[in-house]
Amino acid sequence: MRLQLSPEMEAFRDEMRTFFTTQVPKEIRDQVAARRHVSREQYIEAQRALNAAGLAVPHWPVEWGGRDWTPLQRHIWREEMQLASVPEPLAFNTSMIGPVIAAFGNQEQKERFLAKTANLDIWWCQGFSEPDAGSDLASLRTTAVRDGDDWVVNGQKTWTTLGQHADWIFCLVRTDPTAEKKQRGISMLVFPMDTPGVTLRPIQLIDGGHEVNEVFFEDVRVPAENLVGEENRGWDYAKFLLGNERVGIARVGATKKLIAQAKEFAREITAGGRPLSEDPRTLARIAELENELLALELTALRVVANSADGKPHPASSVLKLRGSELQQAATELIVDIAGPLSLASFADGGSAVPDWARVATPEYLNYRKVSIYGGSNEVQRTIIAGTILGL
């Protein structure tokens, strides 16, 4: 048991901190810090800056750009990136399809996709969820039927995040409707979003923004070579992918940053004749949140340290569950600090309300999503109760 980072890890942390705060364009980091939407171009610019320095996909196999880092290094990398308000490498690329292709794709697919995926030359979106297949993902109904050298895809996906920016989609499709277990008849296909028969329809969210879409497939012809791995093994790849998704999902650095900002905002608001930053109730609330976040960060450190064999520690469900709750609590805190100013959400020019107060409520409303996706918090409780407590 030892608290301090080793000198090597201290140096590593400094290196990361220096890179993120000097080598990623400041306008982009300011945009993230202001909690404003980051454009497609900005995402790409940031990820390419990281990739050029070998910092976009350190968790991939070394052969494909990975760094062979320890779990602790990855943790530090992610934390420092979030604290510096660097947009994280697109999860669909770097945490989802990239690792799946690296692990299960054929050599040709690896050569065709991995470098471009790391560099965000291809923007991927995730076609898993369907209107009737949410938490019960394996009940998905989109079909792919073999016809000569092609798969013909019909059906609908939904909640497709940033599908409007995407070049390619990775999709779970039903290839064997007769399989005894529904999980057994699913395959993974990848294809360009501009393939004939693909239609995208935006879904507006409660924050007024457009980040998710419905995607419709009508006789979409996908070449057989675009099947990832083996036919009818798609569920295994999905599970592998979702396991990766949970890594780093605690987002401790991002929440830390929000709390630090909340403290600053509290100094700007006067209530009862004194700044909110001197109000005992507000301070106690921040202290509680900060302490919860500390406990989460320490748990993340404890869990990464114990998952060196690659298998997720059973407690990693705690990270998703608590991580999402604390992100939500931090956004809620900022809305409450803004108070009546938080109503000016869509004010443009001509408003005296500071920008942070304007974005506060849309962000709070938007962040309700974090306990829904990535395996909802109810799903995480099911995992804890079942896998860990044996209930």
Ligand X SMILES: Cc1cc2nc3c(=O)[nH]c(=O)nc-3n(C[C@H](O)[C@H](O)[C@H](O)COP(=O)(O)OP(=O)(O)OC[C@H]3O[C@@H](n4cnc5c(N)ncnc54)[C@H](O)[C@@H]3O)c2cc1C
Positions annotated as catalytic residues are 245
Minimum CB distance to another protein, residue 297 (Å): 6
Residues counted in the chain: 391
CA separation for the pair 284, 289 (Å, rounded): 9
Q: Candidates 53-61, 216-224, 346-354, 366-374: pick the segment binding ligand X (CB under 6 A).
A: 366-374
Provide the terminal-to-terminal Cα distance of the chain, rounded to the nearest Å.
Answer: 32
Residue 206 contact among ligand X, another protein, none, beta carbon within 5 to 8 Å by kind: none
Give the one residue of 12, 64, 124, 128 binding ligand X; rule: CB under 6 A.
128
Q: Which two tokens stand for residue 309?
A: 């064999």
Partner that binds at residue 389, options another protein, ligand X, none, CB closer than 5 to 8 Å by kind = another protein
Nearest alpha-carbon partner for 17 in 89, 90, 86, 71: 86
128 binds, among ligand X, another protein, none (CB under 5 to 8 A by kind): ligand X
SS3 125: strand
Nearest to 176 by CA among 242, 123, 106, 230: 230
Listed ranges 18-26, 159-167, 278-286, 327-335: which one lies at the site for ligand X (CB under 6 A): 159-167
Shortest distance in whole angstroms from residue 389 CB to ligand X? 15
**The two three-digit tokens of residue 33, written as one number:** 């810090």
Q: How far apart are CA 185 and CA 112, in angstroms?
A: 26
Alpha carbon distance 121, 360 (integer Å): 33
297 lies in the binding site for another protein (CB under 8 A): yes
Using the structure block, give the residue that is written with the tokens 């009508």: 218
85 makes contact, choosing from ligand X, another protein, none, with CB < 5 to 8 Å by partner type, with none
Q: Is residue 134 at the binding interface for ligand X, with CB under 6 A as the rule?
A: yes
Is 139 a residue that touches ligand X (CB under 6 A)? Answer: no
Q: Which of 25, 41, 378, 387 binds ligand X (CB under 6 A)?
A: 378
Q: Does 271 bind another protein (CB under 8 A)?
A: no
> Residue 388 gets which letter from DSSP?
I
d(CA 179, CA 67): 40
Region of 27-35, 122-130, 219-227, 295-303 interacting with ligand X (CB under 6 A):
122-130
Pick between residue 211 and residue 290 the one whose CB is nearest to another protein: 290
174 vs 153: CA distance, rounded Å: 9
Burial environment of residue 143 by CB neighbours within 10 A (0 to 12, 13 to 18, 19 or more): middle
Q: Which residues is 204 bridged to in the sheet?
A: 210
Q: Which of 72, 103, 353, 365 binds another protein (CB under 8 A)?
A: 72
Minimum CB–partner distance for residue 255 and another protein (Å): 10
Q: Which does 161 bind (CB under 5 to 8 A by kind): another protein, ligand X, none?
A: ligand X
249 binds another protein (CB under 8 A): no
175 is an interface residue for ligand X by CB under 6 A? no
8 Å CB contact between 54 and 67: yes
Which of 153, 65, 162, 175 has its CA nearest to residue 123?
Answer: 162
Task: Give residues 270-329 in contact with ligand X (rule: CB under 6 A).
Answer: none
Nearer to another protein, 234 or 253 (CB): 253
329 binds another protein (CB under 8 A): no
Q: How far apart are CA 314 and CA 209, in angstroms?
A: 35
14 binds another protein (CB under 8 A): no
What the block records as the tokens of 248 is 């780093």
Closest CA to 64 of 127, 128, 114: 114
Taking CA 87 as the corner, what is the angle to CA 42 and CA 267, rounded to the nearest 5 degrees? 110
Closest to another protein by CB, 62 vs 389, is 389
Q: Which residues bind another protein (CB under 8 A)?
A: 1-6, 9, 72, 83, 256-257, 259-260, 263, 266-267, 277-278, 280, 283-284, 286-288, 290-299, 301-302, 305-306, 315, 318, 321-322, 378, 380-382, 384-386, 388-391
Q: Which residues bind ligand X (CB under 6 A)?
A: 126, 128-129, 134-135, 159-161, 212, 369, 372-373, 376, 378-379, 382
